[in-house]
Amino acid sequence: MNAPDDRNGAMLLELVDVSVSYGPVRALNEISLGVRKGEVVAVMGPNGAGKSTVLKAVMGLAPVVGGAVIWRGRPLAAATHEIVKQGIAFVPQGRRVFTHLTIQENLEMGCLYLNDHAEKQRRLQTVLDLFPVLHQKRRDLASQMSGGQQQMLALGRGLMAGPDVLLLDEPTLGLAPIVVKEVFANVAKISHTLETTIMVVEHNIKGVLDIVDRAYVLNMGRVVHDGTPDSIRETDILTRVFLGKVDGEP
């Protein structure tokens, strides 16, 4: 990958002993994980493991009851829109696009807070150059796009915030296998071309391990393994987690 190689240095974004509770339900239990500048890091695990909650905790969308989210070495505690301004963008699962707006209008929604017209146009051109199909269809309604194109649009809208870190929640959910490959190729392209640091929650294990530098495996709200893709492939941790043979302890 082409990003500046700070991958052996300090974490750019990390969760330190973070716990999240929804009433009596503990979704994350003193979890610690993070991403360094230039990395693509996956968060994996079975349904209910707490994967999406990790991203929501970063964005202030989950009730953190212990620990801290650390951004550039300092605790991160702000409203979601302020977190976006600080350089962290979140693309939620479900290809949430505004179907009644054009593709260009959807993209512009990604930087509503930005008053600098020239910068807004620069970001728009960057995204359109990155995804030529969005450029070709920029005046079409988002409702006319395929599922894969809508996911591309969602990625592009996230990039309009000009993030240093892009958080992706299940970007391939509900997509056909051939489209899944295209989405992973786009995630890799964002990392290579824009040097954007990425944390991705993903259920498609094989596909995501092909594009990431490191991965965390979660079970029952805890990290039960972290390491390189090869370290995960060489163990039976995924089999054990998905078959329910791990008790949630590292």
Q: 200-237 pLDDT, tens per residue?
A: 999 888 899 999 999 999 999 999 999 999 999 999 88
Is 8 inside a domain boundary?
no
Is 7 inside a domain boundary?
no
Question: For the chain, how many structural domains are there in total?
Answer: 1
pTM reported for the whole predicted model: 0.91
What confidence score (pLDDT) does residue 166 get? 97
| 2 band by pLDDT with thresholds 50, 70 and 90 | very low
pLDDT at 109 over 90: yes
What confidence score (pLDDT) does residue 246 get? 65
- Cβ proximity of 138 and 102 under 8 Å: yes
Is 108 inside a domain boundary?
yes
What confidence score (pLDDT) does residue 202 get? 93
User: Tokens 């930005």 map to which residue?
Assistant: 114
What is the mean pLDDT of the segment spanning 12-36?
96
What confidence score (pLDDT) does residue 93 get? 86
What confidence score (pLDDT) does residue 7 get? 59
Compute CA 63 distance to the chain's CA centroid, rounded to the nearest angstrom.
Answer: 19
Is 249 inside a domain boundary?
no
CATH code, domain carrying 185: 3.40.50.300
Is 5 inside a domain boundary?
no
Is 250 inside a domain boundary?
no
Q: Which domain holds residue 182?
A: 13-242
| 4 band by pLDDT with thresholds 50, 70 and 90 | very low
Is 247 inside a domain boundary?
no
Compute CA 156 distance to the chain's CA centroid, rounded to the nearest angstrom.
Answer: 13
Question: Percent of the chain at pLDDT above 70?
Answer: 94
- Cβ proximity of 49 and 56 under 8 Å: no
Is 225 inside a domain boundary?
yes
> Cβ contacts of residue 8 below 8 Å, gap of 6+?
36
* Distance separating alpha carbons of residues 5 and 23, to the nearest angstrom: 41
Q: Kindly report, residue by residue over 132-156, the tens digit of the pLDDT.
A: 999 999 999 999 999 889 999 999 9
